[in-house]
Amino acid sequence: MDSHELRLLLEAVRDGRVSPDQAEHQIRFQPFQDAGGFAKVDLHRRLRCGFPEVVFGQGKTAAQIEGILRTLIAHEHGGLVTRVDSQAAAHLKAVFPEGEHNAIGRTFRIRGPHDDGPRLGRVGIVTAGTSDLPVAEEARVTAEAWNCAVDLVVDVGVAGLHRLLHQLPVLGRADALVVVAGMEGALPSVAGGLVACPVIAVPTSIGYGAHFHGVAALLGMLNSCASNVVVVNIDAGFNAGHLAGLIARRMGQARQSGPAAEPADPVAVEASGPAPAV
What pLDDT shows up at residue 47?
A: 66
Lowest mean pLDDT, pick from 6-15, 131-140, 154-163, 223-232? 6-15
pLDDT tens-digit map of 86-111: 999 999 999 999 999 999 999 999 99
Q: What is the pLDDT of residue 81?
A: 95
pTM, rounded to two decimals: 0.80
pLDDT at 195 over 60: yes
Per-residue DSSP letters for the chain?
--HHHHHHHHHHHHTTSS-HHHHHHHHHH--EEEETTTEEEES-HHHHHSS---EE-TT--HHHHHHHHHHHHHTT--EEEES--HHHHHHHHHH-TT-EEETTTTEEEE--TTTTS----EEEEEESSGGGHHHHHHHHHHHHHTT-EEEEE-S--GGGTHHHHTTHHHHHT-SEEEEEE-TT--HHHHHHTT-SS-EEEEE-S-S-GGGGGGHHHHHHHHT-S-TTEEE--TT-HHHHHHHHHHHHHHHHHHHHH-GGGS---HHHHHHH-SPPP-
Query: Which part of the chain is CATH 3.40.50.1970?
Result: 122-259
The per-residue pLDDT for range 13-68, each reduced to its tens digit, is: 999 998 998 887 777 656 776 677 777 777 767 767 777 788 999 999 999 999 98
Considering 18-22, 130-134, 257-261, the range whose residues carry the highest mean pLDDT is 130-134
Q: For a pLDDT cut of 90, what percent of the chain falls above it?
A: 64
Place 268 in a pLDDT band, splitting at 50, 70 and 90: very low
The reply to whether CATH 3.40.50.1970 applies to domain 122-259 is yes
pLDDT, mean of residues 146-161: 93
